[in-house]
Structure 1
């Protein structure tokens, strides 16, 4: 279940680009592991619940292993974890209230809390182990789980008169249960046979609420009351009888309290402190002169002989503190953030824009920097390379200069990066023809980027008088107003250039404007503009709420809306007076015809090397359709695949290797697709896997092909066993003959011919059964 991430295996297992010979149809983990939720310390390893999966830190060799939904976990976003120490059983809770119980290689999954029919939230905030009993602190109350019988009891509605109350965390002194809630501190007898009865729980009348965290230490209970002003939290203790402020710890914003037999520990936004039983500082934020610039989320003591503590952080993974020294940033390979609004890939690199806009094309004010993956490793990115820009929403590779990458900031203009991720320059209203956003001083909102056939960069400059802008290869700039079709107050987003160099502009809830410059950028007198809507003769869109656009390899334009997808098969007719309206692709379902994805919001469209259509939707995952859109080839959902969520935000396809990057609202995942971009001639033709070893049951890929090449496979005697046409620049063979049976052990010859028969190539495949 675990995935080794060290040494050579680290690079081999994770690099879908540096090591392209990954099995077709396999999934890759592109999640961050730097945000820590909970920690369990074992003699030989530390188990870390990161927000997006588990990872294991080897205490002797400091190796890292990781697990995610791809490896068999039942959820994606972890909210709590603990361990039944006696049996070494992990209990992991997810934000969908599914619970995994993991003992060695055995894993059981429970849906009891998820199935509760209660109003409001059901998030599991914490898990308290007490012997064989596990107490779940939930947004509605408490649930009890017995690790031996695997039975649940609850829900316990412990609020006033049996009402729901948010329980943040629980603790015990061995006799009583203490619950930190939004209403205050609740107490119950641990051995009360009817904890389901709200009368078993009493609310402390002195403290009041809310209480976000608590810990029982050396005969006293310590609770934290958040202050109304940042960094004014107060800890109260009842060790001396009544509640009194505990002033041995500063008034920080306190994320959690923890305790064991030796120490009372606190985690704050600026570090941690561990106090011994004499309330002397044993370790902390300045212990040994070392500062801790970390937002600490959780803490567990390690080896007391070395003054060892393991700290969980919000952005820096696992931190090991020992004898005043610091070993930071233990977390598996991955990006720093899980948000992905746009993703592009080529060769051995992936670039991710983590910003975003809402449904009204308004800022989310996401300041997270771009993420870059190169040769299988995510490169830590520096916030400074964005030059204080936020809401990075699109990225485009320059088609001429491989060392130039362009980015759209929906706040600070057009960004130009060098290939190493350093910022080359930024263009906004102060140093270019770009204009300041109407009604929002200081903003230059670039909504989308695309290149035309002459490698000129087109962009949208949202909410301005001239919202369409182009930059030529000679650094000449031109901008264009869209008149009444797109007033300066209207937010606009993406731009797409079709095969006729017509420019398509996505409007917010108002269709599309198509712009024809007649290849005279400096002469606006011959420009043409047309607005596409839902009426016949005016575009026949399925809805004016356009969400995505793409041009396929035949020049057809596919438009995704909140009511399905339509296709402009003749976009070159838009300004000719001929019929150009979009058409609905009809598909057969259960013996009748229906419109393609007519009930889906199509949020993303990508075209692979075989001209197949990848449609991302808002609630139904990813549909992979045949080139003409009439046949469903694949349908990935979170229920039938490792896909992290059915809400798709972006899809990017690597043209060289066929890797498909799918961004969801819960992070990004990759899938090894079967199509690559074909070339005019044959390249370095090869097959993988080769040799095919016993037990292999997937597809064999033959790559480096001329586009749509004919592929014939024979045995060594010349008998034809298989024939197909390449998907772009790659062909697939399942290792079977025409009869559907696995071919025998032997050497097989692959004869290749381009589509007009002018060029041929040959390669071999060795199969061992």
Structure 2
């Protein structure tokens, strides 16, 4: 158990949901808040638990403030939430089975369920509160906690003969506990001192089959029974003794039954209904009356005088229904989906591909559309934005036309968008020389895309006879066999073009094929092809399982495998007959030399403005290494940072602003680094913050610099107080002198000179202590 101050939730005076520029060394949240799990209604606000965190809805002024792991929550994916009103304790459960108990300004983090030694899933599906007893419905059974002592009892394995049983929800009439489970309804005496004993629990003989939700209304129990064959549900009640069907509730698939003192409410795949004690319909809302997706996951009554209801939806956040009127839905700004398989960022645009492929490069049929953030706002999209293409796995900005973005669909070809996110065109086997893949008809697998120095777009077209294809600026298309080294039986994925316009193709578990076209695309007689493997003289890869490739600012090619990283320092030698083998970068740790990330599966590589390397891994988070890879600058994991997951799928650095976009298996997160892209000359040099006001303790960023410029900071009298070299096009000053002391209030001059001294610039920074 861990207790900390949690100031993010102290105030109920909420601010509008905005996404300001994050400070250097800080994290930014790019998660969706549209999939609601639970609601807690308070006099001044509604606490909305979504799959990716919380947001607070101010009832008076309709304000929104979001809270995530970045703000101090102990998890990312929320699975259940409830509030113990007598103590004002908000209880939050996450998919890692950690619990947060938020009371006033204290956050207590509880690990008991997470530490249970149980085989199988431990997801917490629901939280039921009975006086000071908290019951957690879990994938294995039930756990009880006392809110005052925070002591646990359990787990309760309530299935037949003490077996594990998935429990969806619980409730009580004060005499008995009721549990909705995957095989029916179970109950036990609420005062039984040994609920651990499965004999204390009785299965109802009538209600066989899955019961996903239940509610107690006016002393009567209602249960929702799923019919897995017809995909319809039936609500039963025992108000007259035996179980009877509630015919007033239509035969729709219901996500939840909810009840309070006035109404029993049904939440279905496209409607919400509230009924009074005579089961007369008191409030109703259906998808037909709305212009946004409306699958209801939960509901809570608001102000009875206004017939107000707050509804949680699966895709549209919080919905408010009052006096028969429908207000707009409410949720923080964010993408529509959490999945982030690739991400690209440039200027004020961020694009995210939510697709993916399986471990053997098989299709996942992920039909979620690409997501675009433009000028700080995520733009809603649907399947039409990519002409119904699925498994979007890679994205690239067009280097010649800034108003064009390209995407690779692993199944439906090459997609082109306009810069504003609108669909332009799609290319596949029906309208280009791209080929249909071997196997089931109708598929054009594009596994990766990249541009060369002439702006020509290269792509892999796997499981075909010509697996490498290029599109020129004039819309001419050429395809290549790669000398049979990538046969149609072999799936291929990413492609990378190096500084010499050589094309590197990632094979599945068979190394890399490098293609040299001699800049004569139509003449295939002068083409050269070389396969790289683990053998000396043939590439010396650390493994044939290649996962990532990147070319740095010096022209070296870095290759990530399932056994670390190797570097081709002289890729121009590949077809020269000279030694070109990759080298292992050696790093010193505790006076011992080891190979860079030799025990890590390196899934992605990004190069920032200072030529530093950002490595994403399959299980150990993100590493930032020095330009030569020998110095470990930063290492982020879920344990030492707000990082959402240690499984990293893509990284891109916005060269203009220094944000690092990290696509994890649990969503997209950003980190503000100190490096931006530099140039040969100074741009619009500025410092921020400026002025530096009292209380500021971060770094002062000086941007718009010539690459690797020398920076000198002096006081107004000319005394040198600080000196550094720019990281690409940006330099950082911590506001301290060489001695480590904070400089005094005053005006400071920043003198800048480029590498050869031909360019200079001067700015002023005001510091107020």
TM range (shorter): over 0.9
Runs of 4+ in 1 over 3 A off after TM superposition: 1-11, 285-293
1:483 match: 483
Deviations 1:276-319 (A, max 9, x none): 11111111235997798511111111122222211111111111
Return the alpha-carbon distance in structure 2 between the equivalents of residues 4 and 395 of structure 1: 41
| DSSP 3-state at the match of 1:206 | strand
Return the alpha-carbon distance in structure 2 between the equivalents of residues 619 and 116 of structure 1: 22
Within a 5 Å distance, the mapping from 1:680-719 to structure 2 comes to 680-719=680-719
| DSSP 3-state at the match of 1:369 | coil
- The Cα of 1:722 is off from its aligned counterpart by 1.7
Within a 5 Å distance, the mapping from 1:632-651 to structure 2 comes to 632-651=632-651
Within a 5 Å distance, the mapping from 1:332-411 to structure 2 comes to 332-411=332-411
1:588 aligns with 2:588: yes
Within a 5 Å distance, the mapping from 1:155-234 to structure 2 comes to 155-234=155-234
2:93 match: 93
1:14 match: 19
Taking structure 2 as the reference length, what is the TM-score of the superposition?
A: 0.97
| DSSP 3-state at the match of 2:373 | strand
Return the alpha-carbon distance in structure 2 between the equivalents of residues 84 and 580 of structure 1: 66
| DSSP 3-state at the match of 2:227 | coil
1:133 aligns with 2:127: no
- The Cα of 1:763 is off from its aligned counterpart by 1.1
Return the alpha-carbon distance in structure 2 between the equivalents of residues 28 and 748 of structure 1: 30
Deviations 1:547-596 (A, max 9, x none): 10000000000000011010000011000111100110000011100000
CA-based RMSD of the aligned residues comes to: 1.9
Return the alpha-carbon distance in structure 2 between the equivalents of residues 687 and 323 of structure 1: 53
Return the alpha-carbon distance in structure 1 between the equivalents of residues 357 and 608 of structure 2: 26
Q: 1:146 to 1:584 in 2, by over 3 A?
A: same
Deviations 1:581-617 (A, max 9, x none): 0110000011100000000000010000000000000
- The Cα of 1:343 is off from its aligned counterpart by 0.6
Structure 2: segments with no counterpart, 5+ residues = 1-6
Return the alpha-carbon distance in structure 2 between the equivalents of residues 39 and 397 of structure 1: 40
CA contact (8 A) 1:285 1:291 kept: no
Return the alpha-carbon distance in structure 1 between the equivalents of residues 594 and 450 of structure 2: 33
| DSSP 3-state at the match of 1:340 | coil
CA contact (8 A) 1:747 1:767 kept: yes
Which has the higher mean CA deviation after the structures are superposed, 537-546 or 199-208?
199-208
| DSSP 3-state at the match of 2:266 | strand
- The Cα of 1:446 is off from its aligned counterpart by 1.0
Structure 1: segments with no counterpart, 5+ residues = 17-21
CA contact (8 A) 2:343 2:395 kept: yes
Deviations 1:46-73 (A, max 9, x none): 1110000011111111111110000011
CA contact (8 A) 1:658 1:672 kept: yes
2:3 match: none
Deviations 1:222-251 (A, max 9, x none): 112211235321222111111122222111
| DSSP 3-state at the match of 1:525 | helix
Return the alpha-carbon distance in structure 1 between the equivalents of residues 15 and 615 of structure 2: 33
1:734 aligns with 2:731: no
2:274 match: 274
1:440 aligns with 2:440: yes
Q: 1:8 to 1:570 in 2, by over 3 A?
A: farther
Return the alpha-carbon distance in structure 2 between the equivalents of residues 415 and 589 of structure 1: 46
1:19 match: none
Q: 1:358 to 1:564 in 2, by over 3 A?
A: same
| DSSP 3-state at the match of 1:205 | strand
Return the alpha-carbon distance in structure 2 between the equivalents of residues 757 and 490 of structure 1: 53
Q: How many residues align?
A: 763
| DSSP 3-state at the match of 1:285 | strand
Taking structure 1 as the reference length, what is the TM-score of the superposition?
A: 0.97
1:449 match: 449
- The Cα of 1:183 is off from its aligned counterpart by 2.5
CA contact (8 A) 1:167 1:181 kept: yes
Which has the higher mean CA deviation after the structures are superposed, 151-160 or 509-518?
151-160
Q: 1:516 to 1:377 in 2, by over 3 A?
A: same
- The Cα of 1:105 is off from its aligned counterpart by 2.4
Return the alpha-carbon distance in structure 2 between the equivalents of residues 355 and 714 of structure 1: 51
| DSSP 3-state at the match of 2:572 | helix
2:329 match: 329
Q: 1:4 to 1:513 in 2, by over 3 A?
A: farther
CA contact (8 A) 1:4 1:10 kept: no
- The Cα of 1:324 is off from its aligned counterpart by 2.3
